[in-house]
Amino acid sequence: MMKYSFCVTTNRGLEDIVAREISVLVPDAEKLEIGKSRVYFEANKEAVYLLNLWSRTIHRLLMVLGRERCKSLEDIYCFVSSLDFTGIIDRKQTFAVRAERSGKHKFSSPEIAATVGQAIIDSYLRDTGASLRVNLKFPDVEFMCYLVNDDFMITVNTTGESLHKRNYRVYNHPAALKATIASSLIMLSEWKTEEPFLDPMCGGGTIAIEAALIARNIAPGLFRKASFFFERLLPFDRDEYLKVRDEAERRANHGVYSITAIDISPRHLKGAHLNALSAGVHDTIRFIKGDARFLEKYMDIQPRVVVVNPPYGIKLTRMKHVPILYRDFLKSLKKVTERACLVVITAATRVFREACKEAEISIVERRLILHGALQTTVFKCVIG
């Protein structure tokens, strides 16, 4: 079967977790290679159906059409116009080119996009005699180009809008975590779905809902309202995709899992409940209005895995409250469990490290990740 080259985009700092997920979802994936916010691999075209439907950690799956050293716009034009686009886009379809660059160049990203657009039109005209039309707002086909120093790559977007938008979110918490980060943190915790799971500062419920979707084996792509972009690309077959989709619907289970979500704010907790209802997993999450500093008041089972995104002291909570909150939360957590894995994402890095020291909790792993524009740290800790 023909192999294609792919590149997925994801959260910076979580690429290894994404690579692991790809190798589980697409067992025939080869040549997995980790880049910055990117993972590259080769696989057959079923990977496009599987990853767009099932991946919990990727943002976009891009099919790589070519990669070349390019120093100038002329180099880019020559390279792109030498490619064959007739197997990708139909003559009646419209297209857009998006470009991003990093490094020192004498030209801008819009100039790269314009150059690539012209090269695609010229290549298609040469090969078919037809002139492709551009539609920047609602294109049928979206080409994404990246120039990093002199490393140029042209891809076609198989996903469309980023997969981190899950569509089940009906309540938008003001400091909501991206669903792809939430899922990656759960994977980092190595949670076994039969173990009690806790998010003690759940906000809009993203972490608990993603945990429930993992436990019930529900493919996140099933929530998508818009079509995937691959459905309009020539290499892909709608019937093959529908088979993979039907199979995904069959594989979901309706089990009941021990997932607890706590928040001090009744408004956020109500929002979390609405989000869980919209995701169809409200019946396997126990929502409790409570204070994470006094977990012993609410927890009648010992959590084995705790994944939490506490306030950082930036958006919602004043910084002066954060050290006390972290310290008291960790002390309380130690009272309710003898043994657990704790994964925390926070921008208040120093405060969290000090709280761990005071509570005698050991940090076993640390990684820097970007949440939007904010530099955060993910800590993995063991209790007991």
> Contact positions toward ligand SAM, by CB under 6 A?
173, 175-177, 200-201, 203-204, 206-207, 262-265, 268, 291-293, 309-311, 316-317, 325
Residue 294, classed as helix, strand or coil, is helix
Whose Cβ is closer to ligand SAM: residue 21's or residue 210's?
Answer: 210
Q: Which is nearer to ligand SAM, 117 or 204 (CB)?
A: 204
Strand partners, 34: 39
Closest distance of CB 347 from ligand SAM, Å: 10
Q: Minimum CB separation from ligand SAM for residue 114, in Å? A: 38
| Residue 63 or 272 with smaller CB distance to ligand SAM | 272
CB closer to ligand SAM out of 59 and 268: 268
Name the residue with the smallest CB distance to ligand SAM: 203
Q: Which is nearer to ligand SAM, 97 or 345 (CB)?
A: 345
Minimum Å distance from CB 199 to ligand SAM?
7
**Closer residue to ligand SAM in complex, CB, 169/232:** 169
Provide the minimum distance between the beta carbon of 340 and ligand SAM in the complex, in angstroms, as a whole number.
17
Question: Which residue is it, tokens 């977990």?
Answer: 295
Question: Rounded to an integer, what distance in angstroms lies between the CA atom of residue 191 and that of residue 43?
Answer: 28
How far apart are alpha carbons 334 and 306 in whole angstroms?
11
Report the distance separating Cα 364 and Cα 238, nearest Å. Answer: 45
Estimate to the nearest angstrom the gap between the alpha carbon of 221 and the chain centroid: 12
Q: Measured between alpha carbons, how far is 39 from 62 in angstroms, rounded to an integer?
A: 10
Residue 291: burial class (beta carbons within 10 Å; 0-12, 13-18, 19+): middle
Q: What's the per-residue H, E or C state across 29-94?
A: CEEEEEECCEEEEEECCHHHHHHHHHCCCCCEEEEEEEEEECCCHHHHHHHHHCCCCCCCCCCCCE
DSSP H/E element including 24: helix 15-25
Cβ at position 338, least distance to ligand SAM in Å: 22
Q: Which is nearer to ligand SAM, 142 or 210 (CB)?
A: 210
CB of 215 to ligand SAM, least distance (A): 18
Nearest approach, Cβ of residue 214 and ligand SAM (Å): 16
b/e per residue 249-269 (b: at least 16 CB within 10 A): eeeeeeeebbbbbbbbeeebb
Amino acid at 184: S
In the complex, what is the shortest distance from the CB of residue 223 to ligand SAM, in angstroms, rounded to a whole number?
Answer: 16
CB of 274 to ligand SAM, least distance (A): 12
Residue closer to ligand SAM, measured from CB, 81 or 275: 275
Q: Which is nearer to ligand SAM, 154 or 299 (CB)?
A: 299
Nearer to ligand SAM, 80 or 211 (CB): 211
Q: Which long-range contacts (C-beta less than 8 Å, at least 24 apart) are formed by 42-47?
A: 42/3, 42/4, 42/5, 42/6, 43/3, 43/4, 43/6, 44/1, 44/2, 44/3, 44/4, 45/2, 45/4, 45/235, 45/236, 45/240, 46/240, 46/244, 47/4, 47/6
First to last CA, the chain: 50
| Least distance to ligand SAM, CB of residue 29, Å | 30
